[in-house]
Amino acid sequence: MRKMKAVILKAPNDFAPGEIDIPAVGDGDILLEMKKAAICGTDIRILEGKKTKGVRYPSVIGHEICGLVKEVGRDVKGFAPGDKVAVANVIPCHSCRACLAGRENACMDRKAIGYEFNGGFEEYVLIPRLALESGNVVKLPDHVSFEEGALIEPLSCCIRGLRNAGTGFNDNVLIVGAGPIGLMHLQLAKIAGARRVIVSEPIASRREKAKKLGADIAVDPTEEDLEAIVMAETDGAGMDVIVMAIGVPALVDPTLKLCRKGGTVNLFAGFAGTGACTVEVNTIHYNEITVNGSTAYRRQDYYDAAEMVKSGKIDLKEIVTHTFKIEEFQKAYEVCKSGAGLKVLIEP
């Protein structure tokens, strides 16, 4: 059996680059030559054992993947070796109550690459029949880079969040957190027609990036009075839409107070621990605020994200700051933990 490089997760906090067998390709599968796989905040939580649902040990994680088709099973139609593809990693079951209700992103029996199937932090990724039959593999034209291809996945999550938040024409929007996800939400809000987008972010380099990508105001919440700025900018009304792109439970209550009557707060980020925190629920009650969540994406969101990338409607290149080899995974992990960069990519 031929071997390949992979980041092997043996247990929480026990992961390292090593060698494993290149997977055998079944009749309905594709073998993908990974070119770029991005590290997601969720991956960091998995590596540290803070998220364990669906995670196997040992396994290879990584769910933001782009590469070239290397080998095609006998039954596979529509793909050939050499095709540049990106992969929607979440495969819905199509038959649970969530799927039947049109919420396949919240499928109760989902299978996912990077969880139930080995993910992107390896040289060759097996794309199983299930994923192909579900339409989870998208071909990309030459002008889309592997970096952009890998970031279609988080962008599709943000598109789901935008749809849940209901951001629209002329809205005042607050994005809490200007990490990679916040910076995608910022751009999507502008594209959806927001009048003004305020970004709240303590790290200076991230605020600068937010300004570069179209933020009207970038606030340092540790030095400036975010509430005073929001109220001054909205004549005391508050924001129409707020997206929480940072999973800090203690920020939920003060953020709710920045929302206008009848506005929406989308809890986009996965929150630390169970997310337990204290909320003055009368803020929601008297102001008739809608608070909702957002998990993963529907395949339609993924296709829409791919179309946006293909047509150049969104800037994902600005969000990539580091690229490391599989062997350098520890360094990549440390950069992610430090918050020094934005998106960190792994390449073979």
Neighbour count for residue 192 (Cβ, 10 Å):
18
Considering only residues 97 to 116 of the shown chain, the ones binding Zn ion according to CB under 5 A are 99, 107
Reported as half-sphere exposure (CB side, CA atoms, 13 A), residue 329 has a value of 25
Nearer to Zn ion, 129 or 211 (CB): 129
CB of 334 to Zn ion, least distance (A): 19
- Total chain residues near Zn ion (CB under 5 A): 7
CB of 175 to Zn ion, least distance (A): 18
CB of 65 to Zn ion, least distance (A): 11
- Which phi and psi angles does 300 have, rounded to 5°? -60, -40
Nearer to Zn ion, 290 or 323 (CB): 323
State the binding string over 135-154 for Zn ion (x if CB under 5 A, else -).
--------------------
CB of 325 to Zn ion, least distance (A): 21
- By beta-carbon distance, which residue lies closest to Zn ion? 40
Burial class of residue 264 (count of CB atoms within 10 Å of its CB; 0-12, 13-18, 19+): buried
Single out the residue of 68, 96, 130, 203 in contact with Zn ion (rule: CB under 5 A): 96
CB of 64 to Zn ion, least distance (A): 6
- CA atoms 310, 314, 315, 316: torsion sign: negative
175-188: b (≥16 Cβ within 10 Å) or e: bbbbbbbbbbbbbb
Nearer to Zn ion, 42 or 264 (CB): 42
- Based on the shown chain and the rule CB under 5 A, indicate whether residue 203 belongs to the binding site for Zn ion: no
Closest by CA position to 258, among listed 217, 228, 293, 219:
228
Neighbour count for residue 143 (Cβ, 10 Å):
9
Nearer to Zn ion, 80 or 100 (CB): 100
Nearer to Zn ion, 3 or 94 (CB): 94
CB of 42 to Zn ion, least distance (A): 5
Instruction: Return d(Cα 232, Cα 210) in angstroms, integer.
Output: 20
Instruction: Return d(Cα 331, Cα 42) in angstroms, integer.
Output: 17
What secondary structure letter does DSSP report for 320?
Answer: E
What is the Cα 208 distance to its own chain's centre?
Answer: 21
Considering only residues 297 to 326 of the shown chain, the ones binding Zn ion according to CB under 5 A are none
Nearer to Zn ion, 119 or 263 (CB): 119
CB of 228 to Zn ion, least distance (A): 34
> At residue 242, what is the residue type?
I
Ramachandran assignment for 235, one of left (phi > 0), alpha (psi -120 to 50 degrees), beta (any other): left
> At residue 201, what is the residue type?
E
State the binding string over 75-94 for Zn ion (x if CB under 5 A, else -).
-----------------xx-
CB of 111 to Zn ion, least distance (A): 10
Q: Which residues make up the interface to Zn ion (CB under 5 A)?
A: 40, 42, 92-93, 96, 99, 107
